[in-house]
Structure 1
Amino acid sequence: MTSTLKISGLTKRFPGVNALSDVSFSVAPGERVALLGHNGAGKSTIMKIILGLLPASEGTVEVCATAPGSAEARRQVAYMPENAAFHPALTGEEQLRHYLALRGEDKAQALPLLERVGLHEAAKRRIGTYSKGMRQRVGLAQALIGHPRLLVLDEPTSGLDPVSRRDFYALLDDLAAEGASILLSSHALTEVEARTDRILILSKGRLVAEGGLGELRRQADLPVTMHVMARNGYATEIARRLPGAIQLDTRLQISCP
């Protein structure tokens, strides 16, 4: 299967700084991949290179088998920034119709796009009245214009409440099931571990770990910790029989290598 995104030996230098050093990975059609790392790890630099906003110093990047920033790549790639900005005086429908016109698409798609991201009932309201989660949904609706093959999402759930996060990832699941490739950045491993197929961890511009959560645990030699509730009177006996078990009232914390 041909990769939607293929990066090989990517290095990016700024004066006095190596922002990226020999980074290689790929994203397949329908795959959900998370880029994790602290601020300054290189996540945003990778995204800017994928979008054609920055040139690579070394290495190769193929976006849908073409060069980043090319006309074909721009047709196939959608980007959603961490803080999407929209005109507060426009309604959700008006904003989407504007973006559709800029892309040469049928403006009648505005309402179906808003319905897909759960904003159909708010389509006639001004964006200035929207919550942060609703504005993020407008950003995702805008990113879906033209049926992109690759979605690049920069901290897409930043500032969202738990329900909005759940709904957002459910929509990403649907898009991946339709064949779209998804690359998103995040700070939180616990948030993406169950909602992505693969995790890439960046540190100081280097790809230091890659894989699913189980594989990352094995690479780091981390134990699996379970919290269990024991029946009345059994917690002490179980803790006595299991080396390393920690009793917390009627609960037990058990670590497995």
Structure 2
Amino acid sequence: MTTHSQPIVELTNVNKHYDKVKALQGINLKVMPGEVLGLFGHNGAGKTTMMKLILGIIKATSGTVNVLNADPISSQAFESRKHIGYLPENVSFYDHLTGKEVLTYFARLKKVPKQQITDLLEQVGLTHAMNRAVKTYSKGMRQRLGLAQAFLGQPKLLLLDEPTVGLDPIATQEFYQSVDKLKSTGASIILCSHVLPGVEQHIDKAIIISGGKPLAQGSLQELRQQAQLPVTIKTQGLNGALVTDERFGDFVVAADELKVPEEKNLEVVKQLLEMNNISNLQVLPADLEQVYQYYLSHEHLSQKPVNTTEETKA
């Protein structure tokens, strides 16, 4: 990915109002080729509205939306839609069709070779059920069929709204492997989820929204830095020596645990490694869940979102 690439998705000063309801306010966003964006917020925050704008299902009240070099509601966007995959939060298919027939229908719409249907059914673990009616599928199986539909045509842009709902841990892991594989081919992905554990290693940057407004935006590292969240250091073998050592007084939260400002992390780790009896230590930066909770709880302070990665590097 180069800094000179054209954004796959670009939203500039976007607002969306429904009568008196301000669903989105002041959204600025760029998603570059091969980039995975995590879109986070509680129900009603405006996540699905943003997806609908990008898909061209609804029109922005003001601001500009550009997807694959076209306004998604314009006639020029017709061809580019073949390069977009979408998994809605609530997957719905014709119950009397088989899994294979459902994918065949969508493959014809996208003019995708039939071989992809078989490959995708195998990829999502539905080969055994491909000739069964969808009405016999469990919720997890329907979700996996939805994923296969979204992956059809190896899309340049993939929009996933709560994609792991109904998936067991193994299927969730396999889903993220598919996302990583698609990203490696240069596809851009917008991943909307309220299930945060396990997501952070698969995203390049995040945007957190609440009440339609952006609270924070950037890489996880940038969000941590702006929030000034401490690093947790867990130790083994010190037998309470942390508590009595005045160097660590302000940082001790338990007999074997410290919470240290990020800029002092290295200094403290060096001091710990010099201590007698230390047998192990673990350094844990704030995870996505902690970052998310911080911005929601400090919403009134979040006036300006962090710069996106591209703007920081520009």
TM-score strictly above 0.5: yes
* Consecutive unaligned residues in structure 1, runs of 5 or more: none
Deviation at 1:115, TM superposition (A): 2.0
Closer/same/farther in 2, CA of residues 194 and 143 from structure 1, 3 Å limit = same
Note if contact 1:36-1:188 (Cα within 8 Å) is conserved in structure 2.
no
Instruction: State the alpha-carbon separation in 2 of the partners of residues 133 and 224 from structure 1.
Output: 36
Instruction: State the alpha-carbon separation in 2 of the partners of residues 175 and 104 from structure 1.
Output: 19
Aligned with 2:15 (options 11, 22, 38)? 11
**Cα deviation 1:71-106 (Å, max 9, x = unaligned):** 023122121111212234433222211222333434
The range that moved more, 203-212 or 84-93, is 84-93
Deviation at 1:46, TM superposition (A): 0.6
The answer for the alignment partner of 1:153 in structure 2 is 160
Aligned with 2:172 (options 133, 148, 165)? 165
Aligned with 1:59 (options 50, 60, 63)? 63
Note if contact 2:143-2:165 (Cα within 8 Å) is conserved in structure 1.
no
Note if contact 2:14-2:61 (Cα within 8 Å) is conserved in structure 1.
yes
Partner AA of 2:173 in structure 1: R
The structure with the largest strand share of the pair is 1
Instruction: State the alpha-carbon separation in 1 of the partners of residues 174 and 54 from structure 2.
Output: 27
Instruction: State the alpha-carbon separation in 2 of the partners of residues 102 and 149 from structure 1.
Output: 16
Note if contact 1:4-1:28 (Cα within 8 Å) is conserved in structure 2.
yes
SS at match of 1:194: helix
The answer for the alignment partner of 2:285 in structure 1 is none
**Cα deviation 1:53-88 (Å, max 9, x = unaligned):** 111111111110011142023122121111212234
**Cα deviation 1:183-239 (Å, max 9, x = unaligned):** 0111244342222110111111111111222221211121122344x23xx231133
1:23 aligns with 2:27: yes
Aligned counterparts, 1:112-151, within 5 A? 112-151=119-158
The answer for the alignment partner of 2:242 in structure 1 is 238
Aligned with 2:93 (options 86, 89, 101)? 86
SS at match of 1:235: coil
The answer for the alignment partner of 2:304 in structure 1 is none
Aligned identity (percent) is 43
Q: How many residues align?
A: 251
Partner AA of 2:92 in structure 1: A
Instruction: State the alpha-carbon separation in 2 of the partners of residues 28 and 35 from structure 1.
Output: 15
Q: TM-score, normalised by structure 2?
A: 0.74
The answer for the alignment partner of 2:301 in structure 1 is none
Note if contact 1:66-1:72 (Cα within 8 Å) is conserved in structure 2.
no
**Cα deviation 1:119-163 (Å, max 9, x = unaligned):** 334333443343333322211111122222101111111232222
Closer/same/farther in 2, CA of residues 164 and 240 from structure 1, 3 Å limit = farther
Aligned with 2:188 (options 181, 192, 213)? 181
The answer for the alignment partner of 2:6 in structure 1 is 2
SS at match of 1:73: helix
Deviation at 1:108, TM superposition (A): 4.0
Aligned with 1:37 (options 38, 41, 46)? 41
Q: Pick 1 or 2: higher relative contact order, CA cutoff 8 A, min separation 6.
A: 1
SS at match of 2:16: strand
SS at match of 1:225: strand
Superposed CA RMSD: 1.9
The answer for the alignment partner of 2:52 in structure 1 is 48
Deviation at 1:31, TM superposition (A): 0.6
Instruction: State the alpha-carbon separation in 2 of the partners of residues 136 and 159 from structure 1.
Output: 7
Instruction: State the alpha-carbon separation in 1 of the partners of residues 17 and 253 from structure 2.
Output: 49
Instruction: State the alpha-carbon separation in 1 of the partners of residues 32 and 224 from structure 2.
Output: 23
Instruction: State the alpha-carbon separation in 2 of the partners of residues 90 and 63 from structure 1.
Output: 32
Partner AA of 1:27 in structure 2: V
Partner AA of 1:123 in structure 2: M
Note if contact 2:34-2:184 (Cα within 8 Å) is conserved in structure 1.
yes
SS at match of 1:209: strand
Note if contact 1:97-1:108 (Cα within 8 Å) is conserved in structure 2.
no
* Consecutive unaligned residues in structure 2, runs of 5 or more: 262-314
